Amino acid sequence: METLRDSVIQCINVNSKGDTKFLHELDHIAQRVGDSVYSILLNVLTQLDFNDREAKNLWLEILDHRQRMVVTMNRPVNLATAVCDYMVEIKKSMHSPKVVEMKIFEEASQASQSDFLTGLYNRAYFDKAFNIEIARAQRMKKDCSLVFFDLDDFKKVNDSFGHPAGDLVLKSVAELIFREKRLTDIAVRYGGEEIVLLLPDTSKASAMNLATRIRKKVERSQLVHQGRLIKQTMSGGVASFPLDTDVPEELIECADRALYRAKHKGKNKICLFSSDMRKSIRMDFDEPVEVRQLGVKVLSPPNLAQSKDLSLSGILFECVTLLEVGTPIQIQIPLASKENPLIVLGRVTRVAPKGPSYEVGVSFLDMVHRERKEISSYFSHLLKSQSLLN
């Protein structure tokens, strides 16, 4: 699986004794993929991170510095020497550089950041790359999109064909995704049967087109394991920064929410995240909740109610106490545990008699990111559990 980084390293290795040929090949790669080649080149040579524009300017300065060294020293100076001298003496970005054979270093580095089964990047690498690409998108005022894939009914593959067959499916899908993506895109095995595509400088529409193309190719693919045909499908969710959220940490959550909308719609689908998606997803939630009325002179004791369903925008419950529409309330919701419930504020929006009790609809008020994330995590866990049972 060749990445842009692999292409740069190969270019360096093949032309290790000829800087002129290397520079010509580097220009050829830059014409094909753009200025991102320079940030990768400098990272390979120095292990320092620069944005594309800064890296290109630095590379041009290094080439000028090399020419000055040739004149001053009155002898040829190779690029590796010029890079080291410039970074230590001029840029002062390096202080104690260590000489190591590039092949050995890259093999060790690759092993630490790759998933051993699929060859895709691992979660640890993604966390670092995600922060870098989002920061780049903010600086350059560019889009950065994310696709969250999940193999449909993957547990059934393992149960019906065995875990070696499951591994074969994962590797096959990973290879297909790798072939379809651009060199600058980052493919990651996020965990289990989840694969994430991080797409720098990519609009939401373009990300949707790529995700749909991949989904269709996975659906059409035919794998044979020990003479038995395995058919596999995949669902996905697409979200884009800063279109869907300008909070980096929420981009993954947005794509994850879109993914589970795709699962709810019957699987083998790709869904786009929309701003009302969190509010529209409502899950059955049959748990006792404590409700306390606010805005009264004397603090009321909590009322025990029985919840019926839950969303990121509100909750529906039954209680024996009549609460007027518009009443502000505090609700304790046992999501992760009864000992540490989620406490949120809400306002009664609907009351309907139901036998001896009342059915009460509540809209949440001013939820902070932590509270939204806790409910989102609960939804994700519940939906994954349902998916495994189907």
The string of pLDDT tens digits covering residues 196-217 is 999 999 999 999 999 999 999 9
Q: What is the mean pLDDT of residues 45-71?
A: 88
Q: Is residue 390 part of a domain?
A: no
Do residues 212 and 343 both lie within one domain?
Answer: no
Residue percentage of the chain with pLDDT more than 90: 37
* pLDDT digit string, tens, across residues 102-133: 454 445 455 567 888 998 999 988 988 899 89
* Residue 270 domain boundaries: 114-275
Whether 68 has a pLDDT exceeding 70, the answer reads yes
The DSSP symbol for 301 reads P
Q: Is residue 382 part of a domain?
A: no
Whether 33 has a pLDDT exceeding 60, the answer reads yes
Do residues 289 and 343 both lie within one domain?
Answer: yes
Give CA torsion, residues 377, 382, 388, 390, to 10 deg.
-140
Position 265 confidence tier, pLDDT thresholds 50, 70, 90 = confident
Whether 85 has a pLDDT exceeding 80, the answer reads yes
Do residues 102 and 118 both lie within one domain?
Answer: no
> What is the pLDDT at residue 82?
85
Do residues 61 and 170 both lie within one domain?
Answer: no
The CATH number that applies at residue 321 is 2.40.10.220
Whether 347 has a pLDDT exceeding 60, the answer reads yes
> What is the pLDDT at residue 105?
44
Do residues 131 and 239 both lie within one domain?
Answer: yes
| Tokens read off for 310 | 């839950």
* pLDDT digit string, tens, across residues 313-328: 789 999 998 999 889 9
Q: Is residue 298 part of a domain?
A: yes
Boundary residue ending a domain (275, 310, 344): 275
Do residues 191 and 255 both lie within one domain?
Answer: yes
Whether 269 has a pLDDT exceeding 60, the answer reads yes
Boundary residue ending a domain (247, 275, 303): 275
Do residues 78 and 24 both lie within one domain?
Answer: yes
Q: Is residue 254 part of a domain?
A: yes
Task: Determine the Cα–Cα distance for residues 276 and 59; give it in Å rounded to an integer.
Answer: 45
Strands (E), the chain: 144-151, 186-191, 194-200, 223-225, 228-230, 234-241, 270-272, 282-284, 288-293, 303-311, 314-319, 328-333, 342-354, 357-364
Whether 144 has a pLDDT exceeding 90, the answer reads yes
Write the single-letter amino acid at 265: K
| Tokens read off for 365 | 């008020």
Do residues 122 and 271 both lie within one domain?
Answer: yes
Structure pTM? 0.57
Q: Is residue 287 part of a domain?
A: yes
Phi/psi at 283 (5° precision): -120, 145
What does pLDDT average to over the chain? Answer: 84
User: How many C-alpha atoms does 297 have within 13 Å on its Cβ side?
Assistant: 0
> What is the pLDDT at residue 106?
46
Boundary residue ending a domain (211, 245, 275): 275
Q: Is residue 388 part of a domain?
A: no
Do residues 195 and 321 both lie within one domain?
Answer: no
Closest C-alpha to 235, from 173, 171, 158: 173
Phi/psi at 327 (5° precision): -70, 125
Q: Is residue 25 part of a domain?
A: yes
Question: Strand 234-241 to strand 270-272: parallel, antiparallel, or no bridges (unpaired)?
Answer: parallel
Closest C-alpha to 233, from 159, 274, 172, 185: 172
Do residues 321 and 221 both lie within one domain?
Answer: no
| Tokens read off for 182 | 């651009």
Of 70-84, 136-150, 175-189, minimum mean pLDDT range: 70-84
**Through-space distance between the first and last CA atoms of the chain, rounded to whole angstroms:** 33
Whether 5 has a pLDDT exceeding 60, the answer reads yes
> What is the pLDDT at residue 182?
87
- Please give the helix or strand (H or E) that residue 232 lies within, else none: none
Do residues 132 and 265 both lie within one domain?
Answer: yes
The CATH number that applies at residue 268 is 3.30.70.270
Task: Determine the Cα–Cα distance for residues 128 and 133; give it in Å rounded to an integer.
Answer: 9
Please state the domain count of the chain. 3
> What is the pLDDT at residue 104?
47
Position 385 confidence tier, pLDDT thresholds 50, 70, 90 = low
3-state secondary structure at position 121: strand
> What is the pLDDT at residue 220?
95
Q: Where are the alpha helices (DSSP H) in 17-141?
A: 19-33, 36-46, 52-73, 79-85, 102-113, 123-140
Do residues 129 and 96 both lie within one domain?
Answer: no
Higher pLDDT, 257 or 387: 257
Whose structure tokens read 């049959």? 286
Q: Is residue 67 part of a domain?
A: yes
